[in-house]
């Protein structure tokens, strides 16, 4: 491993990938930041492109978060500590870490923080959420308390994937999934794939995953051979697609994890659910959507939502390091940091058949 001095000397520029209010992607060169007293400067070695990064680039907003100035993207990152602030105690130079990008206020007057639901903190700083720049950059200064040490058995690529895995784990935790619960996962994108891996480890059975892309369904099958796959037909109605889902599952679903945010997919999930079941919506979609209200009402189907995660990184690290979840196959495309634009093009071009695109910096 190169020394800290060698890294900073050999790569003095802090390259970052940003999006602009007019939907451009730009590569920015700057000087590395100096870490504060309680911060570490991390050489970011791997960062994944998330659907929200693409959404900010293409749509210019997610909900009330609006791109009104240039914004650095990225929040799925892992790297190595190259500098430590004067008050840093737990970490040292050379430590390999995963970056948890949501930093709450942690004040006792904040109900969300005080009750342990810090993902709901109104003052949370989330890197890559406007106006805070993200971690898709070479060097990033981050609070020590929100850096998670990685064992040698977990690569930087896997460390970056702990963020989407955290989303899946949060949804599964809140859903109350139990051994033997019949489960449907809508969407075989990155969040759907990690949800599949987590649900398999949690003992959901039987398992069905849906998508419109046969390649992604085949990949899901390679990850978890026992999963049953259903190709969603866009020209069919949600009730028709739900019938095919139930046939594949062999029953109605106790739980649906909706990982697309697409309105028609949400409808399919609701129609596939049993009386008293639940549909957990994890995916990001349009600001306003319709649902089959009365169908959900007379069948007592809970429609719930998941916002990010809390206290999931330690669990995610344990599950990966113990071999219960294998994240390695999810990275299908790799680009050097300087080729950020090409990476985003691959992530949004169907013919590229990308599942998870990562930008790497040696």
Specify the higher pLDDT residue, 12 or 47: 47
Assigned domain for 337 exists: yes
Mean pLDDT, the chain, as a whole number? 95
> What pLDDT is attached to residue 12?
79
Q: pLDDT-derived band of residue 63, with 50, 70 and 90 as boundaries?
A: confident
CATH number where 176 lies: 3.40.50.720
Assigned domain for 190 exists: yes
Partners of 356 in beta bridges: 331
Whether the pLDDT of residue 9 is over 90: the answer is: no
- In terms of domains, do 82 and 197 share one? no
Q: pLDDT-derived band of residue 6, with 50, 70 and 90 as boundaries?
A: low
- In terms of domains, do 174 and 247 share one? yes
- In terms of domains, do 334 and 287 share one? no
- In terms of domains, do 13 and 141 share one? yes
- In terms of domains, do 227 and 294 share one? yes
Assigned domain for 103 exists: yes
Whether the pLDDT of residue 3 is over 80: the answer is: no
What is the Cα Rg of the chain in Å? 20
pLDDT in tens, 37-58: 999 999 999 999 999 999 999 9
Assigned domain for 161 exists: no
Q: pLDDT-derived band of residue 13, with 50, 70 and 90 as boundaries?
A: confident
Q: Do the beta carbons of residue 137 and residue 17 sit within 8 Å?
A: yes
Assigned domain for 159 exists: no
Q: What are phi and psi of 83, to 5 degrees?
A: -150, 150
Q: What are phi and psi of 341, to 5 degrees?
A: -65, -45
Whether the pLDDT of residue 345 is over 80: the answer is: yes
> What pLDDT is attached to residue 253?
98
Tokens of 256: 């649906």
- In terms of domains, do 219 and 192 share one? yes
Instruction: State how many domains the chain has.
Output: 2
- In terms of domains, do 108 and 204 share one? no
Assigned domain for 314 exists: no
What span, in angstroms and rounded, lies between the C-alpha atoms of 308 and 305? 10
Q: What's this model's pTM, rounded to 2 decimal places?
A: 0.93
What range defines the domain where residue 240 resides?
A: 168-305
Write 150-154 long-range contacts (CB < 8 A, 24+): 150/78, 150/96, 150/97, 150/98, 150/317, 151/317, 151/321, 152/96, 153/321, 154/317, 154/320, 154/321
What span, in angstroms and rounded, lies between the C-alpha atoms of 199 and 204? 6
- In terms of domains, do 134 and 181 share one? no
- In terms of domains, do 130 and 5 share one? yes
> What pLDDT is attached to residue 219?
97
What span, in angstroms and rounded, lies between the C-alpha atoms of 330 and 311? 23
Q: How far apart are the first and last CA of the chain?
A: 10
- In terms of domains, do 183 and 284 share one? yes
- In terms of domains, do 84 and 145 share one? yes
How many C-alpha atoms does 33 have within 13 Å on its Cβ side?
19
- In terms of domains, do 18 and 103 share one? yes
Assigned domain for 43 exists: yes
> What pLDDT is attached to residue 2?
54
Assigned domain for 64 exists: yes
Which string of DSSP letters, residue by residue, matches 220-245? Answer: HHHHSTT-EEEE--TTS-HHHHHHHH
What span, in angstroms and rounded, lies between the C-alpha atoms of 107 and 122? 11
- Please give the C-alpha separations between residue 188 and each of 2, 6, 65, 163, 216, in angstroms, as whole numbers: 38, 41, 26, 17, 6
Q: pLDDT-derived band of residue 147, with 50, 70 and 90 as boundaries?
A: very high
Token pair 């999810």 in the structure block, residue: 330
């Amino acid at each position: 491993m190169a020394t800290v001095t060698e890294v900073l000397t050999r790569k003095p520029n802090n390259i970052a990938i940003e999006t602009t209010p007019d939907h451009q992607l730009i590569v920015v060169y700057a000087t590395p930041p100096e870490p504060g007293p309680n911060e570490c400067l991390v050489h970011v070695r791997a960062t994944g492109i998330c659907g929200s990064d693409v959404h900010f680039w293409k749509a210019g907003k997610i909900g009330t978060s609006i791109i009104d100035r240039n914004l650095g993207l990225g929040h799925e990152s892992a790297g190595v500590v190259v500098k430590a602030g004067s008050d840093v105690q737990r970490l040292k130079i050379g430590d390999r870490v995963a970056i948890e990008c949501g930093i709450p206020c942690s004040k006792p007057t904040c109900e969300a923080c005080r009750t342990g639901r810090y993902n709901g903190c109104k003052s949370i700083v989330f890197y890559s959420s406007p106006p805070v720049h993200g971690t898709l950059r070479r060097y990033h200064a981050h609070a020590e308390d929100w850096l998670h040490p990685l064992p040698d058995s977990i690569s930087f690529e896997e460390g970056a994937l702990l963020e989407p895995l955290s989303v899946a784990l949060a949804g599964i935790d809140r859903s109350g999934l139990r051994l033997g619960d019949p489960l449907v996962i809508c969407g075989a994108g990155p969040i759907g794939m990690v949800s599949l891996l987590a649900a398999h480890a949690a003992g959901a059975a039987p398992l069905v995953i849906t998508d419109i892309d046969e390649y992604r369904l085949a990949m899901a099958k390679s990850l978890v051979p026992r999963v049953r796959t259903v190709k969603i037909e866009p020209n069919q109605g949600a009730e028709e697609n739900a019938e095919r889902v139930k046939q594949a599952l062999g029953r109605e679903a106790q739980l649906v994890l909706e990982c697309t945010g697409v309105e028609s997919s949400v409808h399919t999930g609701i129609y596939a659910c049993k009386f008293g079941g639940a549909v957990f919506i994890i995916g990001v979609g349009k600001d306003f959507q319709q649902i089959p209200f009365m169908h959900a009402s007379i069948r007592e189907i809970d429609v719930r939502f998941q916002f990010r995660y809390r206290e999931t990184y330690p669990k995610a690290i344990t599950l990966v390091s113990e071999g219960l979840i294998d994240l390695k196959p999810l990275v299908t495309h790799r680009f050097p940091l300087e080729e950020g634009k090409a990476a985003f093009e691959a992530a949004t071009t169907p013919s590229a058949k990308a599942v998870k695109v990562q930008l790497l910096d040696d």
